[in-house]
Structure 1
Amino acid sequence: MSDATGAALKATVDPDSVRDFLRIDPGFLLGDESLLGELGLKVDGGNVIDFGPAALAKAAAAHRREASVRQAIEDNARANYSAQAQTHAAVIDLLDARNHSDLARRVDDMAMLRFGLAAGVMALEGPSRVPAGWRPLAEGQVDMILGDAPIARMGFFAPALPLFGDRAETIRSMALVRMAIWEPRREALIAFASKDPEGFTPDMGTELVNFLARVVERTAERWPVL
């Protein structure tokens, strides 16, 4: 049967009607060895339909698809577990910071050593003093960098490249997260950068970077800026 003929029959025949007919008269199928052969089936001596090569091939293909999906789920679960473990260890590292400068260093180390990123940077709006190791920002600059994103901006944003200093030329994507520290409130930013264009993308969830920003925010409030 040609593909065109098969397509025409499929368009005119109701599959439910075919199934109902075979349920009522199963002997029609069992008695047509030619049709069974085309379907990859055969009838054994006990009048039981046996799977032929075509049916076995379909079953094997379905098994491979199932195994592939299961492997993907397992890989994703392992990646999530690893990320959680690294996050817990990172939080402990951050909480051990001795001052603002040490906190900034730990953020950068955390980004590179625990998450394989290119940089982790902290920035604070002026006009008063900015801690050593933090990037100074003009008032209102956090809003300019984040744009329409109230909390976090993911992806590549060229105007934020100066945050990463001499590593800026290697940056291809970034996560920029708002922080607010002390009273009166001072706007701040934590920025993570990747050399991979797909490291941070606009459709990526922000839960992890937002959680780390909140930890850094609370830790930074231990010490006043003199």
Structure 2
Amino acid sequence: MKISKMKKILMALSIGVILPMTNLSAAGNEPASLDADTVTYDMSTGEATADGNVLLTRGTAKATGAKATYNTKTMAATLEGDVIAIREDLRVTCAKMVSDGTGHMQAIGNVYGVKQDKTFRGELVDYYPNQNKYVLIPNGGTMTSADGTFTADKIEGWLDDEHYVGTGNAHVVSPPRNMEAGGDRMDYRGKDQGVVVVTGNAWAIQDNNTMKSNRLTMYLAQDGKAKVQ
């Protein structure tokens, strides 16, 4: 079945790409639609293919791209070609997006995400919205917030908690605190008082004061001063 310039409510077709941005159980009754230049759907296999100016929406979430596939039986989905996905206060752009339909989204190729004052970048980013907005950047990337810029060979971040863990060449620069630190591994928690734990070739600089150790713990006071252990 092929339909040109189709815009029709298809609850199943948008689940794979849109629902990773939200809670699966809460979104069950949200209206959904698929709009594309051409749509092909095989009822026997459950496989749908959309080409040209694809727009997937579900509730307040939407995603656009050049082409998309979705399987109504497995819930596996892909969206390719200048992808833009938006859900609430999160916006992600990338070359390709893949979802298994179970609350996991993988963005591939020049990934850039924005959530309020927080951003993340990488060539490959896994996102789990139902796990405190957990982000995994396995092959090197950058995360930023109002407090500074965090880079590492591998980054894990919980956006709601402002908690970031970097492994391999971990590095943070915080202009508001006039602080820079690095090491083999870094555990950064920005909420409340804030604390940074750096292990392995650890170092930190603040106000022209340099500290080095195998393990550095820095408590980040609200006045910008760092208490070090």
The TM-score with structure 1 as length reference comes to 0.19
Bigger Rg, structure 1 or 2? 1
- More relative contact order in 1 or in 2 (CA 8 Å, sep 6+)? 1
Counting helix residues as a fraction of each chain, which structure ranks higher?
Answer: 1
The TM-score with structure 2 as length reference comes to 0.19
